[in-house]
Amino acid sequence: MHGGNIYGNEIEYDFSVNLNPLGPPKSVQDALAAALNHVEEYPDPEYRELRRGLANYWQLAKEQLVLGNGASELIPGIIRALSPKNCMVTAPCYSGYETALNAAAPSCRIHRISLRAEDDFTLPENICQEIARVKPNLLILTNPNNPNGKRISVNRLREIADACRTEGTVLLMDECFLALSGGDEDSLIHCIRSEALPAVVLRAFTKTFAIPGVRLGYAVCSAPMAERIRRELPEWNLSVFAQYAGRAALEAAAGGNVMRGTAAGGTPAPGTSAGGTSGYLAASVEMIAREREFLSAELEKLGFRVFPSDANYILFQSRDRELHQKLLDKGILIRDCRDYHGLSAGFYRIAVRTHRENTVLLRCLRNIK
């Protein structure tokens, strides 16, 4: 079960999906409208302009990038390319990883690293020792973690990356929510650019720019690995709409000029310093931080157990095991987390939305309690 399933229900407020509450930039909306003029054309199967823009944005070689119809298409493609025999994942985490492992590598043995509520679901201190003990072919982590929203510290990331390098483990780091937590300076992409790191980093335009209906994600890794992943994906997997929206989103993220900037090794165009933050992203991060603090404090006042988050979503625990259904009856959809490994009925995740939307949710919760 995933968030965003608004179909078949009368939903007025969707708190189950963790999208940018600012909504898509106007330039992205305009680009989607412009794409209508090209629906009679096949999309570029090599997404040349979009890949060049991403390379400029992160100061990478374009060969280090592979794009997909959302991160959900890339995950099984990555797993098919790697064919792991042993994989390590955290629990709880996004369920799509194990779904993809079971489908794309059915013989793969899955080792779960338990994250405990009493530790606020932070990574255990012995994770590097576990990597050395299990020696997995693949380690999948999310930064910040889903569903609790805690970021992994830079020092811990470095330790984990070193342990993976020692054991020959490929690190798949899902950073689809990192930009909205204000943590792009801690992205593993910087390490891939500067050193030979056996890693793949996942990113999604969907969450950052609030365009889930477009479906657009990308992976960053070594050029040989990117080519292996690309072979596992279908042709024309990025629509005209996705490519137009992606180019406009990059311009919004970089503050302009990224499509004309200089790629890896050269001098970047203004506003394109590796993962630089624009006014749109800065405003998004500021709003999310402010509303996350407000929501967390108000939820605690209502008696819920709220877990610390750095992201645009919050995990909390309630004694009411059917709270999600009661809210659904009021036209509000939240994420019931009982299907996450390591969680049970009574754990819920909510997106951080606008102040007006957050206030509506809190008012409904007060009435239910």
81-91 pLDDT, tens digit each:
999 999 999 99
94-128 pLDDT, tens digit each:
999 999 999 999 999 999 999 999 999 999 999 99
User: What gap in Å lies between CA 167 and CA 170, rounded to an integer?
Assistant: 9
Predicted pLDDT of residue 3: 65
User: What gap in Å lies between CA 229 and CA 226, rounded to an integer?
Assistant: 5
Domains and CATH numbers, the chain: 13-22+280-368 (3.90.1150.10), 26-270 (3.40.640.10)
C-alpha pair distances (Å), 155 with each of 151, 161, 203, 293, 330: 12, 10, 21, 25, 44
| Size (the chain), residues | 369
Q: Is the peptide bond before 92 cis (omega within 30 degrees of 0)?
A: yes
Burial class (CB within 10 angstroms; exposed 0-12, middle 13-18, buried 19+) of 12: exposed
User: Is residue 138 predicted with pLDDT exceeding 70?
Assistant: yes
258-300 pLDDT, tens digit each:
776 643 333 333 334 455 557 899 999 999 999 999 999 999 9
Predicted pLDDT of residue 259: 73
Which of 213-222, 258-267, 286-295, 306-315 is predicted with the least confidence, judged by mean pLDDT?
Answer: 258-267
User: Is residue 340 predicted with pLDDT exceeding 80?
Assistant: yes
Mean per-residue pLDDT of the chain = 92
- Residue bearing the bigger pLDDT, 265 or 7: 7
Which of 98-107, 191-200, 328-337 is predicted with the least confidence, judged by mean pLDDT?
Answer: 191-200
User: Is residue 140 predicted with pLDDT exceeding 50?
Assistant: yes
Question: pLDDT-based confidence at 369, cuts 50/70/90?
Answer: low
Whole-model pTM above 0.85? Answer: yes
Predicted pLDDT of residue 173: 97
Question: pLDDT-based confidence at 256, cuts 50/70/90?
Answer: confident
Predicted pLDDT of residue 267: 33
The two tokens of residue 258 are 């990224």
User: Is residue 48 predicted with pLDDT exceeding 50?
Assistant: yes
Predicted pLDDT of residue 274: 54
User: What gap in Å lies between CA 4 and CA 8, rounded to an integer?
Assistant: 12
